[in-house]
């Protein structure tokens, strides 16, 4: 098995705030029965609308949010139930790049301090001098200059700050990076620079990435495989160009259609928007908006079906999948 990360039946429930005194606590399910594997050296994309739980999943992998049930295995070792202290060795292997580069850097500390402190803390280097030499190397690697170690975060532009975040994560020599929408706050031209940099680094250090995003065209360009998340459930996993050309799940199809192309497109049919409906049914959470929904969809949530296309697996959870002309082999996941 060359799976670096294995997530099985992962679930997360957040307690709902309610001010009533004598009332049972209610829970909001952010992630529901998530199964996902990330192979070594792979770039896996995680795409979904806001509120689909994609950031929660990234934070759970990093141990910033605890899980309600299920397991997360890193290199075969269970990491979802560790104490803060036990997590520390894993931070040398996995790191995270945050979406908001402004708030993820401490405004009162110099770049140098922020990069060297974790290295010294976790014993990546043995002396301050070495830490400094190393941090200058890192800054150069991400396209900044050595004198930048004396500067403070506010003296940099958004793109440069994101580079600093990357340098800081690389300082601990990780093998796995969670990229939580690293470019969604950046301009297009800067986004290209950062994406290219991340690809260069991935090749150089043979890293594994989990790329969380909402922009499918970025994901298609950047990732090998894509997992589509909708309201806490993974609805489809496929190679990114296959998902792009032949989406199986109606949700993937909807996300793809929403990508703005550079050619003029026909107007989409759905001009109206409704308030979130509060009535819950046990079925597929997309059924209310889905054009293909049948009675079955409202009753129960479809199980995950795995198909093999010339040896490459593709999974989806839908009763009425699209683009289904070439079935080779089908396994229903229990």
Q: Which of residues 293-332 bind another protein (CB under 8 A)?
A: none
Pairing of strands 305-309, 312-316: antiparallel
CA–CA distance, 230 with 50 (Å, rounded to integer): 9
Q: Should residue 132 be labelled a site residue for another protein when binding is judged by CB under 8 A?
A: yes
- Asked if residues 68 and 13 have their Cβ atoms less than 8 Å apart, the reply is yes
Range in contact with another protein (rule: CB under 8 A) among 1-9, 13-21, 211-219, 305-313: 211-219
Range in contact with another protein (rule: CB under 8 A) among 69-77, 216-224, 294-302, 319-327: 216-224
Q: Which residues contact 128 (CB under 8 A, 6 or more apart)?
A: 116, 120
Q: CB nearer to another protein: give 121 or 296.
A: 121
Q: Pattern 45-84, binding to another protein, x per CB under 8 A?
A: ----xx--------x--xxx-------------------x
What is the smallest separation between the CB atom of 286 and another protein, expressed in angstroms?
12
- What 8-state DSSP symbol labels residue 155? G
CA–CA distance, 193 with 196 (Å, rounded to integer): 5
Q: CB nearer to another protein: give 21 or 262.
A: 262
The size of the chain, in residues, is 334
Alpha helices, DSSP H only, in 142-264? 158-170, 188-205, 216-222, 240-245, 250-257
Q: Which residues inside 145-164 make contact with another protein, applying CB under 8 A?
A: 145-147, 149-152, 154-155, 157-160
Pairing of strands 43-47, 225-230: parallel
Q: Which residues inside 15-34 make contact with another protein, applying CB under 8 A?
A: none
Q: Which residues contact 198 (CB under 8 A, 6 or more apart)?
A: 166, 179, 182, 209, 222
What is the smallest separation between the CB atom of 264 and another protein, expressed in angstroms?
6
Q: Pattern 90-129, binding to another protein, x per CB under 8 A?
A: -xx--xx-x-x--xxxxxxxx-xx--xxx--xx-----xx
| Count of residues engaged in binding another protein, rule: CB under 8 A | 89
**SS3 at position 317:** coil
Q: Which residues inside 219-278 make contact with another protein, applying CB under 8 A?
A: 220-222, 241, 254-255, 257-265, 267-268, 270-276
What is the smallest separation between the CB atom of 329 and another protein, expressed in angstroms?
25
Q: CB nearer to another protein: give 260 or 280.
A: 260
Task: State the Cα torsion 181-165-239-230 to the nearest 10°.
Answer: -30
Q: CB nearer to another protein: give 124 or 306.
A: 124
């Amino acid at each position: 098995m060359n799976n670096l990360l294995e997530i099985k039946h992962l679930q997360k429930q957040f307690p709902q705030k309610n001010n009533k005194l004598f009332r049972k606590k209610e829970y909001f399910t952010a992630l529901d029965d998530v199964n996902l594997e990330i192979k070594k050296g792979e770039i896996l994309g995680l795409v979904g609308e806001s509120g689909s739980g994609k950031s929660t999943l990234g934070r759970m992998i990093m141990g910033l949010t605890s899980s309600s049930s299920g397991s997360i295995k890193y290199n075969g070792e269970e990491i979802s139930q560790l104490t803060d202290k036990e997590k520390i060795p894993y931070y040398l292997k996995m790191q995270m790049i945050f979406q908001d580069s402004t708030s993820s850097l401490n405004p009162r500390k110099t770049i140098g301090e922020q990069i060297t402190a974790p290295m010294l803390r976790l014993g990546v280097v043995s002396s301050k001098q070495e830490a400094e030499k190393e941090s200058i190397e890192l800054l150069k690697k991400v396209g900044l200059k050595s004198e930048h170690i004396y500067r403070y975060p506010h003296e940099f532009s958004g793109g440069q700050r994101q580079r600093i975040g990357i340098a800081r994560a690389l300082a601990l020599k990780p093998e796995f990076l969670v990229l939580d929408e690293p470019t969604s706050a950046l301009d297009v031209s800067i986004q290209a620079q950062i994406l290219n940099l991340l690809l260069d680094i991935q090749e150089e250090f043979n890293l594994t990435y989990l790329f969380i995003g909402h922009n499918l065209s970025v994901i298609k360009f950047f990732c090998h495989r894509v997992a589509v998340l909708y309201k806490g459930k993974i609805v489809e996993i496929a190679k990114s160009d296959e998902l792009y050309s032949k989406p199986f799940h109606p949700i993937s199809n909807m996300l793809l259609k929403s990508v703005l192309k550079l050619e003029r497109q026909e107007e989409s049919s759905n001009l109206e928007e409704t308030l979130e409906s509060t009535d819950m049914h046990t079925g597929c959470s997309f059924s209310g908006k889905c054009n293909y929904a049948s009675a079955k969809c409202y009753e129960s949530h479809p199980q995950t079906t795995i198909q093999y296309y010339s040896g490459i697996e593709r999974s989806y959870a839908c009763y009425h999948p699209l683009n289904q002309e070439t079935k080779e082999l089908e396994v229903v996941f229990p």
